[in-house]
Amino acid sequence: MPLYRLCFQERGAHRVEQQVGFFNDEGALAYARRFARGRAVEVWRDAVLLHRDPAPRVLAESL
Q: What is the pLDDT of residues 37-60, one digit of tens each?
A: 888 999 999 999 999 998 877 666
Q: Domain locations in the chain?
A: 3-53
Strand partners, 35: none
> Bigger pLDDT: 63 or 29?
29
pLDDT at residue 19 greater than cutoff 80: yes
Q: What is the mean pLDDT of residues 32-39?
A: 90
Burial (CB < 10 A; 0-12, 13-18, 19+), residue 7, is middle
- Residue 31 has a CB neighbour count (10 Å cut-off) of 17
